[in-house]
Structure 1
Amino acid sequence: MSANAILNDPDFRKPGADRGLLGVLRHRHLLSLLLKKGISTRYHGSALGWVWSYIRPAAQFLMYYLVLGVLLGGRKDITLFPIYLFSGIVAVNLFSEVLRNTTSAITDNKSLVKKIYLPRALFPLAAVGVGLVHFLPQAILLLVVTLIFGWTFGWLAVGAFLAGILLILTFGLGLGFFFGAINVAYRDAKNFVDLILMFATWASPVLYSWELVYKHAPAWLYNLYMVNPVTAAVELFHTAFWVPIAPTDARPTDILLHTAIAAVIALGTLIIGQFTFRKLEGSFAQNL
C-alpha cells in the first residue's frame, strides 16, 4: 500500500494522537494496570501498609475535635459535632487525595512517559482511581460510626453521598489535569497545589457551620463560598451522614441552586483542565 493510501485510510491515526478522556476508553486494560501499580506501590515498604488509611483520618479527627470541639466549644454549637466533623474531613481528604495524586501523576511516571507512548490522560485517571480506592476505608469507617449513632438507609442520603463523590472527582480531576500539565515544566505547580490543600479544610464547612459565613461575611462572599465545589460536596456529605441522625432546620439557603452552580463550575474546570493538558502533553517527554 502506498504512503498516500495509508494517510487517506480512515483508520489511520498520527502516532501519538490523543483523543483525551474519550481515547482512554479504548485503553481500559492499560488503565487497570496503572491502577494496580498505583495501589500496590502506595505503601510499599511500609510496616503498617493499609492501616495508614485509617490512622490518618482518625488522627485528623482527634486533633480537630480536641481543639475545636472541646477547647473552643464547637461541640456545643453543632449537634453531634463528631459526625459533622468526621464527614467533612472524609470529603476533604478525598479531594486532597485526588488533586495531589493527579498533579504528580505525570512526573511520578516519567520513566514510562519518556520511553513509550501511552495516552497521557491514563496517568491522571489512574491516580483518581488510586485516590478513590484509598478513600473507601475512610468512608466505611464513617458509615460504621454513623450506624452506631442510629443512621438508617435512605435514598436521599445515598444519592447525596454519590453526588458528593462525583462532584469531588470531577473538580479534583479538572484541577489535576491543569496543574499536572504545568507541573511537568514548572515544579512550582505542585507547591501551589499544596497551598490550595492547606486551606481546603478551612475554606469549607468542615470545622465550623456555614452559618458563621452567612452571618459575618458579605452576601457576595457567602454566595461565592457556597458555590465552591468542595463546599457543596461537604454539604452533600453532611446531608448523607449527619442530617439523618441530627435533624436540623439550619440548612443552607438555596442549597440546590448552590450545588447546581458548583457542579457547573466543576465541569467547567474539567473542560479547561483537559484542554490545557492536551495542549501541553506533546512536550511532556522533553521536559521530563
Structure 2
Amino acid sequence: MTQSTSTDDLTGFVRPGQGAGLVDVVRRRYLLNLLVRKEVQVRYRGSVLGWLWSYVKPVTQFLVFFVALGVFLQLNGSIPNYPVYLFSGLIMVNLFSEAFSNGTRSLVDNAALIKKIYLPRELFPVSSTLVALVNFLPQVLVLGVVCIFVGWSPSIVQILGVLLGLVIIIVLAMGLSLLFGSVNVSFRDAQNFVELIVLVATWASPVLYQTALVAQVLPEWLMVIYQLNPLTAAVELLHAGFWLPTTNGAGQSPDGLLMYGLFALLISLAILAFGQFVFRKLERRFAQDL
C-alpha cells in the first residue's frame, strides 16, 4: 500500500494554500459569479423596500450634506450645480467605503466555508468589491439622468476619465480589502480601524468642497500629496465627467488631473500588489484563526 501511494499520479493537484492568488480568481470565474449572485440575492431578502435600500443611504447623505453645506454654509451659491457636484462625489466615496468595509469582513463572515473546503480565498474580498459595484451602478444611472436634464454634454475624454476613476476605486478597494481582510482574521481590531478610514475618507477628498479651497491652505508640497491620493483623483475625475459638463464653463477641474489620475492608478496597483503579498503570507493561518 505504501509503495502504491508513493507512485500515485498527483498531476493537476495543488497543495492547499499554494494557489496563484488573484489569477485563480480569474480562472474560477464561475465561483466568483456564484458568490456575487448569492450576496446580491440575499442582501435584501425579507426586506420590504428591497433594492430601494441601495438608494436610501446615499440620498440621506446627500440631503444632510446639501442642507448643512449647500444651504447653511451657502456652498450652493458659490459652486455651480452644487447638488450634482455633491452627489457625484458621494456615490464614488460610498462605492469605496462599501467595497472596503465589506471586503475587510468578508473572510470572517465566510469562516464556515473557509474551514470546510479549500478554494481561492481571494474570491471573498473580490466578490464583495463587485457587489459594491453592482449597488453603485443604479446610483450612477440616476446621476446621469439628472445631469441630462441640466444640460450634460460630456466629451469622450471626460467619459474615459469617469471610467479611469472607477478603475482606480475598484483596484484601490480590492487591494485594501486583501490587506485588511487578511489581518482582520487574526486581529479583529482591523475592521474598527477600517471604519475610521471610511469616516475620514469623505472629508479627506473633495466631495463636499472644491480642491481650490484646499490649495489656499496647504503648502505646495502637501497639496501634491493630497492630489496623489487615489480617492481624491477618482472623485475629481467623476466631477470632471458629470459635474463639469453641466456648468457651461463656470466650473473648473484641477490642473494636471489626468496626470494625477494615472499616478493614482499606479499607486492603487501597488497597493493591490502589496495587499496580495500580505494576503498570501497570512493565508495559511486563516482556517486555524477562524
- Shorter-chain TM-score bucket reads over 0.9
| 1:11-37 C-alpha deviation (Å, 9 max, x unpaired) | 342234210011112211111111111
Give the drift of 1:45.
2.4
Q: Does 1:3 align with 2:6?
A: yes
How does 1:250-265 map onto structure 2 within 5 Å? 250-265=252-267
CA contact (8 A) 1:106 1:180 kept: yes
Tell me which amino acid in the other structure corresponds to 2:275: G
TM-score by length of 1: 0.95
Give the drift of 1:5.
6.3
CA contact (8 A) 1:92 1:234 kept: yes
Aligned residue pairs total 286
Give the drift of 1:106.
0.5
Tell me which amino acid in the other structure corresponds to 1:6: D
Give the drift of 1:170.
0.3
TM-score by length of 2: 0.94
Which of 275, 278, 281 is 1:276 aligned to? 278
Q: Which runs of 4+ in 1 moved over 4 A?
A: none
Structure 1 residues 135 and 80, CA, compared in 2 at 3 Å: closer, same or farther? same
| 1:89-115 C-alpha deviation (Å, 9 max, x unpaired) | 011011111101110110111110111
Tell me which amino acid in the other structure corresponds to 2:240: T
Give the CA RMSD over aligned residues.
Answer: 1.5
| Other structure's SS at 2:28 match | helix
5+ residue gaps in structure 1? none
How does 1:1-288 map onto structure 2 within 5 Å? 3=6, 6=9, 9=11, 11-152=12-153, 154-246=155-247, 247-248=249-250, 250-288=252-290
Quote the Cα distance in structure 1 between the aligned partners of 2:13 and 2:186: 31
Q: Percent identity?
A: 47
Tell me which amino acid in the other structure corresponds to 1:47: V
Give the drift of 1:144.
1.1
Tell me which amino acid in the other structure corresponds to 1:162: L
Quote the Cα distance in structure 1 between the aligned partners of 2:262 and 2:278: 24
Give the drift of 1:44.
2.4
Quote the Cα distance in structure 1 between the aligned partners of 2:256 and 2:153: 26
5+ residue gaps in structure 2? none
Structure 1 residues 245 and 193, CA, compared in 2 at 3 Å: closer, same or farther? same
Quote the Cα distance in structure 1 between the aligned partners of 2:101 and 2:286: 19
CA contact (8 A) 1:6 1:12 kept: no
Quote the Cα distance in structure 1 between the aligned partners of 2:209 and 2:167: 23
Tell me which amino acid in the other structure corresponds to 1:114: K
Quote the Cα distance in structure 1 between the aligned partners of 2:155 and 2:74: 31
Tell me which amino acid in the other structure corresponds to 1:254: G
